[in-house]
Structure 1
Amino acid sequence: MDRNIIKYINVNGQLMDLSHPQVMGILNVTPDSFFAGSRKQNETDIAVRVHQIVDEGGSIIDIGAYSSRPNAEDVSPEEEMRRLRFGLSVIRRELPEAVVSVDTFRADVARMCVEEYGVSIINDISAGMMDADMFPTIARLGIPYIIMHMQGTPQTMQTHPHYDNVVKDVLYYFSEKVQRLRDLGVKDIILDPGFGFGKTLTHNYALLSQLEEFSIFELPILVGVSRKSMIYRLLGGGPEDALNGTTAINTIALTKGADILRVHDVKAAVEVVKIVSAMQHPTFITPS
């Protein structure tokens, strides 16, 4: 994949260069996220996890307090804020300069996280569909915004998802969203095709096979497949068995233009980035 198109995002007044793919480490302050190994609910576990993400080479910490797994229970805004305040206070104490993304679809939650804790990025699984105030809020906050494609809601998304052509439909969805955000003055937009969100196994692999089509927007692309059912439903086992499949898909995604990998297993993803970068730019290889 040609990386001559310069992509970067403005993070806290500093440019993050995405010509070298970045790794985003997942921190779930939830009791019910689909991968049990990612759930961190006490101060010690959160502190250990954020240091692990950074020590293993992750450049972004993505904290979420609302499980978006299929059929997840709804969580009130108050409870989501309580969980995030707890988690973010630990992050800021442990790693005050860390680049932090918050996984939320609620505008009030996004505003609180940015204004009270200096969060750098908002990661919205609904791309504004679940809160009409989100787009104007992001425009006012002036921060990078990840928009993901999802058909339905976390509670309904896997109930008979249907597309005329999944790749074309998701491209069209993004074209409308990007234009609306541009009209509001939002500058830093990141696209997430939403693997596993309102998609069958066939839909997921069709998106992966044509991921390079999303480069038409000349915007950063985030891929989040870490330990998802699109892997273990194909290969067998469960989330705990899906690291090898995650690594395989992340490798493919990087060769097709992914700029950010959102993962549970940071070290493995950082190694994939290094290997793919060595393949694409062999003259710049520096041994460890």
Structure 2
Amino acid sequence: MAIVNRTPDSFYDRGATFALRAAVAAGIAAREAGADIVDVGGVPFAPGPPVPVADEIARVVPVVCELAPVVAVSVDTFRPEVARAAIEAGASVINDTTGFRDPGMAAVVAESEATVVIAHSLAAPRTEHPQPRYGDVVAEVGAFLAERREWALGCGIPPERIILDPGHDLNKTTRHSLELTRRLGELTGLGAPLLVALSNKDFVGETLDRDRGDRLAGSLAAAVFCVLQGARIVRAHNVRETVDALRMVEGILGWRDPAFERHNTRPEGNA
């Protein structure tokens, strides 16, 4: 899952894809680099001033319209109104980083054919949650995701259209995110595929003492580890590098044939 932020204040690209043409070009480039899904966001998760619903719709819907004919499009939003407009424009996935904080989101997804990503977080949208505390972060995240999945099923969303995200860095410290990564396999029995959003996040930077633009190696290591623990979707900024890393994992595990085979395959005696 590639990331395209149509925001002026995203934590990673700092507005590089805020312009419509830049956002569309980034989505097409991500598809060409091997992304299966392009996740379009119009409002960052991080605390900040409110963005009117109409403005968020104006940011994401034109990108969805352009990209939906060529790649599966996800929209990162916590607002039912934005989700409805995005689905009508062609989005096939709604990525709710607030875990159905607004219960109207489930109804919008249920009445459509869209898939939903339910992520774990604690705070109300775009608000701070300083010094989050957990007794057992993996157990508490797992319980939250299990409850939200059951609630979604009760709202009419079929199980095959639910994806779960433990929410690395979302209202969590670096140690919390590292523990979630280390014990991710404990969440694979929740009845839905796991998505991990690790790319260039602060837990990578703080673990390695690396600035925002120098976290690719750490992000790839975390992504590979999570796939080996059972993650099945990886949300990433650096698409080509992430695709190569994960295709290599698939090749090692026997899930993917090599692109070609030449090494030591020539008949004996031929130059």
Regarding TM over 0.5, the answer is yes
Shift in Å at residue 48 of structure 1? Answer: 2.0
Q: What one-letter code is carried by the residue in structure 1 that aligns with 2:61?
A: R
CA distance in 1, matches of 2:242, 2:14: 17
- Could you tell me which residue of structure 2 aligns to residue 196 of structure 1? 169
Q: Secondary structure at the match of 1:216?
A: coil
- Could you tell me which residue of structure 2 aligns to residue 36 of structure 1? 13
Aligned pairs for 1:1-40 within 5 A: 24-36=1-13, 39-40=16-17
Aligned pairs for 1:235-274 within 5 A: 235-274=208-247
Q: What one-letter code is carried by the residue in structure 2 that aligns with 1:35?
A: Y
Q: What one-letter code is carried by the residue in structure 1 that aligns with 2:55?
A: E
Q: What one-letter code is carried by the residue in structure 1 that aligns with 2:64?
A: L
Aligned pairs for 1:96-175 within 5 A: 96-115=69-88, 117-129=89-101, 131-175=102-146
Q: Secondary structure at the match of 2:171?
A: coil
Shift in Å at residue 183 of structure 1? Answer: 1.4
Contact 2:64–2:90 (CA<8 Å) still a contact in 1?
Answer: no
Shift in Å at residue 231 of structure 1? Answer: 0.7
Q: What one-letter code is carried by the residue in structure 1 that aligns with 2:152?
A: L
Provide the aligned C-alpha RMSD in A.
Answer: 1.7
Q: Secondary structure at the match of 2:189?
A: helix
- Could you tell me which residue of structure 2 aligns to residue 74 of structure 1? 50
CA distance in 2, matches of 1:143, 1:210: 29
| TM-score (structure 1 length as normaliser) | 0.85
Contact 1:38–1:264 (CA<8 Å) still a contact in 2?
Answer: no
Shift in Å at residue 156 of structure 1? Answer: 3.5
Shift in Å at residue 90 of structure 1? Answer: 3.5
- Could you tell me which residue of structure 1 aligns to residue 185 of structure 2? 212
Contact 1:105–1:126 (CA<8 Å) still a contact in 2?
Answer: yes
Shift in Å at residue 282 of structure 1? Answer: 7.7
With 135-144 and 97-106 compared, the bigger mean Cα shift is at: 135-144
Q: Secondary structure at the match of 2:8?
A: coil
Count of residues in correspondence between the two structures:
259
Shift in Å at residue 157 of structure 1? Answer: 4.2
CA distance in 1, matches of 2:48, 2:20: 24
Q: Secondary structure at the match of 1:81?
A: helix
1:88 aligns with 2:60: no
- Could you tell me which residue of structure 1 aligns to residue 264 of structure 2? none
Runs of 4+ aligned residues of structure 1 deviating over 6 Å after TM superposition are none
Contact 2:3–2:237 (CA<8 Å) still a contact in 1?
Answer: yes
CA distance in 2, matches of 1:30, 1:286: 37
- Could you tell me which residue of structure 2 aligns to residue 181 of structure 1? 152
After superposition, the Cα gap between the structure-2 partners of 1:89 and 1:286, relative to the gap in structure 1 and judged at 3 Å, is: closer
Contact 1:43–1:90 (CA<8 Å) still a contact in 2?
Answer: no
CA distance in 2, matches of 1:47, 1:190: 25
CA distance in 2, matches of 1:45, 1:286: 31
- Could you tell me which residue of structure 2 aligns to residue 5 of structure 1? none
Q: What one-letter code is carried by the residue in structure 1 that aligns with 2:3?
A: I
CA distance in 1, matches of 2:82, 2:201: 26
Q: What one-letter code is carried by the residue in structure 1 that aligns with 2:51?
A: V
After superposition, the Cα gap between the structure-2 partners of 1:255 and 1:157, relative to the gap in structure 1 and judged at 3 Å, is: farther
Contact 1:27–1:38 (CA<8 Å) still a contact in 2?
Answer: no
Q: Relative CO higher for 1 or 2, CA cutoff 8 Å, sep ≥ 6?
A: 1
Shift in Å at residue 47 of structure 1? Answer: 2.9
After superposition, the Cα gap between the structure-2 partners of 1:127 and 1:170, relative to the gap in structure 1 and judged at 3 Å, is: same
CA distance in 2, matches of 1:286, 1:51: 22
After superposition, the Cα gap between the structure-2 partners of 1:163 and 1:50, relative to the gap in structure 1 and judged at 3 Å, is: same
1:65 aligns with 2:42: yes
